[in-house]
Amino acid sequence: MPEPVSFSDPSLSVARDTLIRRGLRLSQLRLLVALRDTGQVSGAAAQVGMTQPAASRLLAELERTVEARLYDRHARGVTLTTAGHTLADRAEAMLHGLDDAHHQIAALSSGARGTVRIGSVTGPAVELVLPVIRELRVTYPDIELSVHIDTSDKLSDALTAGDLDFFIGRVPEGMDPHAITLEEVGPEPVSLVVRLEHPLSRKAQPAIADCLAYDWVMQPKNGLLRRTAEAYLLRNGYTLPERILSTSSMLLTLAIICETNAIAPIARSAANFYAGAEAFGGRIRQLNVAEDLSVVPYSLIYLRSVEASPAVTRVLTLIRRKINEKTIEGAFGA
């Protein structure tokens, strides 16, 4: 039984590029493909932009390189041999592959293709990232996006580890401010949301005190949104809710809201989205209370030491444009 051949066998690498070592040139392959298509040496020469004598010389050199006759002459021109057709077909595939590689490289260089890894806290994800995703699907479908939604401390760790190109959030304690570039966006207003048929929905002007009688769903302790909500209540002379379910999952938060009388503080941009008729079947509504409740401003954050790829630069440009549009509209902090 023959012994298996190792993939590290040096004889295989020689076999793989034998024709290149013998002097095979791309101009010869282009000429052979043109010869197959035109059936004439003169026509093939004209197609690739050379004289007929030069074409004849290149074809003769090619036959010596491959050690086979590639075409036969006849009264009406030439016909490729079986070997000629085999090489021409492979040459055409290779040339098309090079053209595709050129187009892909050009797309990467222009930012029309590439991978962009975005991190965001909940509010900006709905308000800024989602519209950019919609636009990119139409204008630059070859840009591959990944979006990671989490709290700012987790996003900061992911950015530092090289798992994100940038994130939209806040600088957590412990992050080196000298290592990042920060572009402040604006504050993040917060709304209290309940299910559509919640008892408080029957009140034209519910008060915060009314809300404290119900269960609340909030981030785990020390989460920024939870700290903000609790500080707001205490600052305005209220006690904290007696019953709080802690979860970092927005999906679970909304599911609980839909199925119980619980109340949850969430980013207003997210509340506007989820309270729409198309999201969760319009089963969520915002309470007309605590209109001035908001989280400290968030920012666009990326590492100083990492040069953004063209695709990342393109996405950042679109996000900055959305920020400017919303700033003009007065959407931030509204």
| pLDDT value of position 330 | 64
Residue 165 falls inside a structural domain: yes
pLDDT at 228: 92
Q: Which residues pair with 123 in a beta bridge?
A: none
pLDDT for 281 equals 60
Phi, psi of 187 (to 5 degrees): -70, 165
Q: Tell whether 250 and 121 lie within a shared domain.
A: yes
The verdict on 226 and 246 lying in the same domain is yes
Yes or no: say if 303 and 164 are a contact pair by the CB < 8 Å rule: no
Q: What is the mean pLDDT of residues 47-57?
A: 89
CA distance linking residue 226 with residue 211, whole number of Å: 15
3-class secondary structure, 267: strand
CATH number at residue 102: 1.10.10.10
pLDDT at 328: 73
Count of domains observed in the chain: 2
What's the average model confidence in pLDDT over 238-251?
92
Residue ending a domain, choose from 49, 73, 108:
108
What is the pLDDT, as a whole number, of residue 186? 84
Range of the domain at 49: 10-108
pLDDT > 70: what percent of the chain? 91
Q: Does the residue 233 lie in any domain?
A: yes
Question: Can you say whether the dihedral through the CA atoms of 134, 140, 141, 144 is positive or negative?
Answer: negative
Residue 220 lies in a domain: yes
Looking at residue 14, its pLDDT comes to: 46
| Domain assignment present for 322 | yes
pTM score of the predicted model: 0.64
Give the pLDDT of residue 230.
94
Residue 274 · residue 250 · CB < 8 Å: no
Residues 100 and 161 in one domain: no
Other beta carbons less than 10 A from residue 263's beta carbon: 24
Q: What is the pLDDT of residues 126-185, one digit of tens each?
A: 889 999 999 999 999 989 999 999 989 999 999 999 999 999 999 988 888 899 999 999
In a domain, 334, yes or no: no
Q: Which amino acid is at 221?
A: K
Query: Which string of b and e fits 194-232 if b means at least 16 CB within 10 Å?
Result: bbeebebeeeeebebeebbebebbbbeeebbbbebbbeb
Task: Flag whether 3 is in a domain.
Answer: no
CATH of the domain at 149: 3.40.190.290
Averaged pLDDT, 56-85: 89
Give the model's confidence band at 15: pLDDT under 50 very low, under 70 low, under 90 confident, else very high. Answer: low
Domain-terminating residue out of 73, 108, 143 = 108
> If 0-12 CB within 10 Å is exposed, 13-18 middle and 19+ buried, where does residue 265 land?
buried
**Domain stop point among 73, 92, 108:** 108
